[in-house]
């Protein structure tokens, strides 16, 4: 929700997931935000949310069974 938000999600492997911290969707709200998630391997998980203006998140997971939780306000 907002204007000029950019999201790039690249997943290679099996069982890779992303979602909201408490279940549901990974929410991006505000303006001019950037979210990049790259998962290579199997069974990697990224949870979180991004709200505000001109924020940037980059998560790179390489290998198996990695977990990242990111909350940006």
Q: Considering the chain, what is the average pLDDT of its residues?
A: 96
pLDDT for 1 beyond 90: no
| pLDDT score, position 66 | 98
pLDDT tens-place string over residues 13-31: 999 999 998 889 999 999 9
pLDDT tens-place string over residues 32-43: 999 999 999 999
pTM across the whole model: 0.90
String of DSSP letters for 12-37: ESSS-EEE-TTSS--EEEEES-EEEE
| pLDDT score, position 24 | 93
Q: Do the Cβ atoms of 47 and 25 come closer than 8 Å?
A: no
35 C-beta neighbours (distance < 10 Å), count: 23
| pLDDT score, position 22 | 85
């Amino acid at each position: 929700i907002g204007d000029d938000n950019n999201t790039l999600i690249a997943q290679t492997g099996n069982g890779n997931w992303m979602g909201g911290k408490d279940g549901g969707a990974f929410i991006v709200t505000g303006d001019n935000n950037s979210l990049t998630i790259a998962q290579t391997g199997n069974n990697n998980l990224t949870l979180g949310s991004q709200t505000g203006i001109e924020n940037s998140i980059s998560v790179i997971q390489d290998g198996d069974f990695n977990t990242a939780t990111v909350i940006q306000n």
